[in-house]
Structure 1
Amino acid sequence: MIIPSPIKNPRLVKERRQQIIEGAVTLFAQKGFHKTTTREIAKACGLSIGSLYEYIQTKEDVLYLVCENIHNSLEEELRKAIRPEMNGLVALRSAIGAYFKLMETMRSSILLIYQETKSLPKEKRELVFMREEEIMQLFIQVMELGQQDGSLRLDQAIIPLLAHNILVLGQMWTFRQWSLKKSYSHDEFVELQLDHLLRNLPTKESV
C-alpha cells in the first residue's frame, strides 16, 4: 500500500517515514495509540507538525507504517535463518528457533501490533493481517521443501495448520511471559517448544 505524499523524492520519503516510525513506536508502546498525539510524534522524530504531514496524512498512517516496519523486520530476520544449503527439516528447525527468539527480542513490537491494529481503518487492518499471513507462508514453504527433499513426510492438508501452530506457540511467550518466566527461562521455553513441535510432526503414515 502506498500512502500518498507530495514529496517527489522516494529516497527522502523513505528516510523521513523511517524517522517517523522510530519516533512513534516508543510513544505507541508507552502511551498507546489513542493517547499519543501527532504533535508528540512530530517532536519525537524531530520534525515540525507541518513537515510530518508532508509524509503521512493521518495518525492511522503512522500506525500502519509502524506495523509494516515490524513485520518487515520480522520477515527479514526469519529469511536469514533459512539458508539455501539447508534441507527442509533443518530449515524448519532454524526458522522456528529464530521466530521464537524474535518473540522475545521484539516482544513490545508484537504486543503493539495486537493491541493497536484494531485502531486502523478496515483496509489498512486487512493489509496488516495479510503481512502476517505472508510470514506464515515462509513456514509453509519450508515444510513443502521438506516434502520435496524427503526430510519431512507431511500430509499436505496438515501443513497450513502446523504453520498456524508455530505462530501461536511462539506468540505464547509474548502474551504469557509474566507466567511462563516463573517456570522457564526464554532459552528453555524455545528448546522445549522446538522439541515438542519437531518430535510430534505428523507423517503420512500417522495422519
Structure 2
Amino acid sequence: MSKREVLTSIKDERLIEERRTQMVKGAVSLFKEKGFHRTTTREIAKSSGFSIGTLYEYIQSKEDVLYLVCDSIYEEVRERLEEEMHLEGYTVQCLEKAITHYFKVINELQDEVLVMYQEAKSLSKDALPYVLKKELEMVGMFETLIRGCIQSEQFLLDDKEIKLLSHHIFVQGQMWAFRRWWLQQHYTLEEYTNIQLKFLLKDFSVQSV
C-alpha cells in the first residue's frame, strides 16, 4: 500500500519537511487539549508559528494534518525501534532488550501516542489503511524476533501464539501512554517494564514448559 500523498503548492522538499514538522508539533498539543474536531486550522497555523495562508500552502484540509501527525508518530517509533532491533543472534535477552527499548520510546512519545489513538478514527478512508499498515509492520518486528527465538530453540509457540504475542507486546507498550492516568501513579517505567516482561514471556520459554 503506497503512502498517501498530501498535496502542496511548494516545490522545495526541504521546506516542505520543515514546515510539516512544525505543523505536527503544533497540532499534537492542540489535539491533546481540544481533540481533532474542536481544533481549527487557524489554531493549528498559530500553534505552528505561521499564518493560515501559509498553512494551506502545505496541506489542503485539516484531515491532512491529522494524517501527517499519525504518519510522523509511527515513523519515529519505527525508526527508534530499528535502532535497537539490529541485535546479534535471537535470544530471550535480545527480545527483552527490544521490548524495554520500545517501552522507553513510548514513554518519551506518550503525548503523541495518546493523540494518535484518540483521533486515528477520524482519518479518511484512504489514509487509515496506510497508517494501520505501518503499525502492523512494527508488530512484525517483534514477530521476527520471536520467530528467531523459536529457531534458536528458546521458545515453544505455534503460529497463532506468535502473532498474538507480537500484538500483545505492542499494545502493552502503548498502554503505558493511554492508561497513564492510573499506571504512572503506581509504577515507575522500570517497574512496569519488568512486570510486563514476566507476564509476556514467562509461559513461552523452553525452561517453563
TM > 0.5? yes
* 1:72 is the counterpart of 2:79: no
**Structure-2 residue corresponding to 1:15:** 18
- 2:38 maps to 1:27: no
CA distance in 1, matches of 2:33, 2:174: 20
Q: How many residues are aligned here?
A: 205
Q: How far off its partner does 1:138 sit?
A: 0.7
Between the aligned partners of 2:20 and 2:112, the Cα distance in structure 1 is: 17
What is the CA-CA distance between 1:202 and the residue it aligns to? 5.9
Corresponding position of 1:2: 5
2:7 partner letter: P
Work out the percentage of aligned pairs sharing the same amino acid. Answer: 43
Equivalences for residues 83-162 of structure 1 within 5 A: 83-162=86-165
Q: Which runs of 5+ in 2 are unaligned?
A: none
Moved more, 141-150 or 104-113: 141-150
C-alpha distance after superposition, 1:68-93 (max 9, x if no partner): 11111111121122233242423311
Instruction: Name 1:185's counterpart in structure 2.
Output: 188
Matched residues in 1 for 2:197 and 2:67: separation?
32
| 1:62 alignment partner in structure 2 | 65
- In structure 2, C-alpha distance between the alignment counterparts of 1:88 and 1:54, rounded to whole Å: 49
Structure 2 residue identity aligned to 1:138: M
| Match for residue 36 of structure 1 among 29, 32, 39 | 39
Query: Quick one: structure 1 residues 5 and 181, their matched pair in 2 at CA, closer, same or farther if it must change by over 3 Å?
Result: closer
Q: Which amino acid aligns with 2:174?
A: Q
1:172-207 Cα offsets, whole Å, 9 max, x none, are 32232333345432211111111222212266x95x
Shift of 1:7: 1.5
Shift of residue 65, structure 1, vs aligned partner: 0.4
Which shows bigger deviation, 88-97 or 189-198? 88-97
Do the aligned partners of 1:81 and 1:91 also contact (CA within 8 Å) in 2? no
Secondary structure of the residue aligned to 1:122 is: coil
**Residue 120 of structure 1, CA deviation:** 1.5
Question: How does the TM-score come out when normalised to structure 1?
Answer: 0.89
Q: Quick one: structure 1 residues 5 and 111, their matched pair in 2 at CA, closer, same or farther if it must change by over 3 Å? A: same
The worse-fitting range, judged by mean Cα deviation, of 18-27 and 173-182 is 173-182
**1:98: how far off?**
1.5
Question: Which amino acid counterpart does residue 45 of structure 1 have in structure 2?
Answer: S
Indicate conservation of the 8 Å contact 2:31/2:39, yes or no: yes
Corresponding position of 2:201: 198
Structure 1: gaps spanning 5 or more residues: none
**1:81, 1:142 → 2: CA distance?**
12
Partner amino acid, structure 2, of 1:111:
L
